[in-house]
Amino acid sequence: MNFSDFIKKYAAHPHYKAPTGTALHAKSWQTEAPLRMLLNNLDAQVAENPAELVVYGGTGQAARNVDAVEKIIKNLLELDEDHSLLVQSGKPVGIVRSHPMAPRVLIANSNLVPQWATWDHFNKLKENGLMMYGQMTAGSWIYIGTQGILQGTYETFVACGEKYFNGDLRGKLLVTGGLGGMGGAQPLAATMAGATFLGVDVDPERIKKRLETRYIDKMTTSYEEARDVSLAAKEKGEAVSIGLVADIGDTLEKLLADGIIPDILTDQTSAHDPINGYIPNGLTLAEAAELRTKSPKEYETRALKSMARHVGFMLELQKHGSRTFDYGNNLREFARQGGEINAFDFPGFVPEYIRPLFCEGKGPFRWAALSGDPEDIYTTDHTLIEAFPENKHMIRWLQEAQKKIAFQGLPCRICWLGLGEREKAGLLLNDLVKSGKIKAPIVIGRDHLDCGSVASPNRETEGMRDGSDAVSYWPLLNLMANAGGGATWISFHHGGGVGIGYSQHAGMVVLADGSDRAARCLSRVLYNDPALGIMRHSDAGYEKALKMGETFGVKIK
């Protein structure tokens, strides 16, 4: 198939689709894999807005523009194993000499010199076609739909239940805002954890997508209906999820007026971007779009004030007993800028619930079946269940995932695994390809939100024991370790889910194609990657990380 025919079949904008099956279009699976995952990111089943190349998070793109997409595709189709493609903020900028075990693609997105790392400067560059926002897995081509954040959200809710509700969320009401590409995982994660869920989003299309993919049970535009259904389900201890089309601040105000105090309260609106993400209170979507274009500064001011109001209601509900936490969208910081001086009086989810897992090297291990056949994922599920009989938590997760998660685009799976477990799992998946038990190679990646790949003082590295919250050499070391280990493609981004100026983070993807070369790369990368998390937390003085390092022979000097 020539390049023109390939574009017509798989990348006729805005209709993107990953090739499936066992036939190669590129010169090897090392370049076929990133090609398929890039196109999968842009598939309408996966992406929020393929027409704008936006994958999730309001503005998180897979490539800078349509021309850049086509050039990336052309390069990947032609690239051999002695070269690597350089991608700068979603645009291919060069090819360098490398070798067969080197990463085939090296990606850097949204990075700015610190003094200029502001939304204002970024937006000027973006308007001039010089930059894009890569979020985390949007610009690194390993987003797998809402499932990608699902288990992390589930782990957080379960940890909340264990910490505050005797390990049982039945009969507990969880309220949140934001049901987009990331926040859309919340309803299913909550019901899988046993809670009753009420989620609010001003955009009905986002809730409709969650309905179509079976992540949410019911949608309504009536506050009264949402309230009554939620309370009835809570009373019966039913794990039911309701999506309300409304403003989250208005909804929290009404809950307070009605004397309804959620047991758990959080938020995943697109607060990381005050102009292109968060919708100011009192505006319809159409009015917001008009104001954003006509007067971005006024829009930003209104958004910040709305966030301050929103967080003010969260703080009030916290005083009345709601277990309230920030879910990593930088809502507290922008609410502070909007005038809520007590915005940081509730904690972030990482120090509150997730850091003990990070100290064990645990994090989001995800994989995609390049064959496009769901049976390949089910085979991997069964293999991991047999390989880790002692990991009851993982087994329960995989069994529930098989029953409740609808695939979006290429069939994928995620589960949280720690140091030692990731390497073992990766080699098992490679053996499945080698033996022919699955039909085509598997790619293994993760969210950038992991134990040793992020510096984000308002999220992953908030409240570090030694005060090293803003130290950002760890994601750089993670990037270099994964390049040296032989990841298939790697990325280094700025901003992620908290916004320009607030985070730096690294991503990696490694191919399991059944070869001995792949086995060596998998062994190195899937050890190095979580080992960086052990090193990072050991260096900060966490005893659990030090003990894990001793157990697995992590060299900590």
Note the pLDDT of residue 134.
96
90 φ/ψ sector (left φ>0, alpha ψ -120 to 50, else beta): left
Q: What is the pLDDT of residue 62?
A: 98
CA distances from 290 to 109, 129, 203, 286, 293 (A): 28, 21, 16, 6, 5
Per-residue pLDDT, averaged over 483-502, amounts to 96
Identify the pLDDT of residue 486.
98
Phi, psi angle pair for 223, to nearest 5°: -60, -45
For residue 146, pLDDT beyond 90: no
Provide the mean pLDDT of the chain: 96
Q: Does pLDDT of 13 surpass 80? A: yes
pTM greater than 0.75 (yes/no): yes
**Lowest-pLDDT choice from 403-417, 507-521, 543-557:** 543-557
pLDDT grade for 465, boundaries at 50, 70 and 90: very high
Q: Interior CA angle at 96 toward 91 and 102, to 5°?
A: 100
Strands 91-97 and 105-109: unpaired
* Predicted local distance difference test score (pLDDT) of residue 406: 87
pLDDT at position 555 is 78
Q: Which long-range contacts (CB under 8 A, 24 or more apart) does 112-121 make?
A: 112/494, 112/500, 117/494, 117/500, 117/501, 118/500, 118/501, 119/273, 119/274, 119/275, 119/499, 119/500, 119/501, 121/500
Residue 557 has pLDDT above 80, yes or no: no
Which of 352, 353, 360, 328 lies closest to 149, judged by CA?
328
Model pLDDT for residues 302-335, shown as the tens digit of each residue: 999 999 999 999 999 999 999 999 998 999 999 9
Please compute the mean of the pLDDT values over residues 506-520 and round it to a whole number: 98
Query: What is the DSSP annotation of 7-63?
Result: HHHHEETTEE----SS--SSSSHHHHHHHHHHHHHHSTTT-SBGGGTEEETTTEESS
Per the annotation, the verdict on 415 as an active-site residue is yes
**Residue in the structure block whose two tokens are 């809950």:** 255
The model's pLDDT over 190-247, given as tens digits with 9 standing for 90+, comes to: 999 999 999 999 999 999 999 998 899 999 999 999 999 999 999 999 999 999 999 9
Confidence check: pLDDT of 175 > 90: yes
Asked if residue 72 has pLDDT above 80, the reply is yes
- The token pair at 430 is 């490679």
pLDDT at res. 552: 87
Answer whether 213's CB lies under 8 Å from 261's CB: no
Which two three-digit tokens encode residue 161?
């239940």
Q: How confident is the model at residue 58 (pLDDT cuts 50, 70, 90)?
A: confident
Strands 442-445 and 83-88: unpaired
Q: What is the pLDDT of residues 376-394, one digit of tens each?
A: 999 999 999 999 999 988 9
Structure tokens at 28: 């090897």
SS3 of residue 83 by DSSP: strand
| 151 pLDDT tier (thresholds 50, 70, 90) | confident
pLDDT confidence of residue 556: 77
Radius of gyration of the chain (CA): 22
pLDDT in tens, 77-112: 999 999 999 999 999 999 999 999 999 999 999 999
pLDDT at residue 463, rounded to an integer: 95
Exactly one of 160, 412, 415, 521 is catalytic; name it. Answer: 415
pLDDT tens by residue, 431-448? 999 999 999 999 999 999
The matching CATH number, chosen from 2.130.10.10, 3.40.50.2300, 3.40.50.10730, 3.30.390.50, for 147-353 is: 3.40.50.10730
Residues 363, 503, 479, 20: what is their CA dihedral angle, to the nearest 10 degrees?
60
Instruction: Please report, for the chain, the start and end positions of each structural domain, with discontinuous segments joined by +.
Output: 147-353
Q: What is the pLDDT of residue 497?
A: 87
pLDDT at residue 451 above 90? yes
Between β-strands 91-97 and 83-88, what pairing exists: parallel, antiparallel or unpaired? antiparallel
Neighbours of 25 (CB within 10 A): 17
* Cα–Cα nearest to 137, from 109, 160, 99: 109
pLDDT value for 531? 96
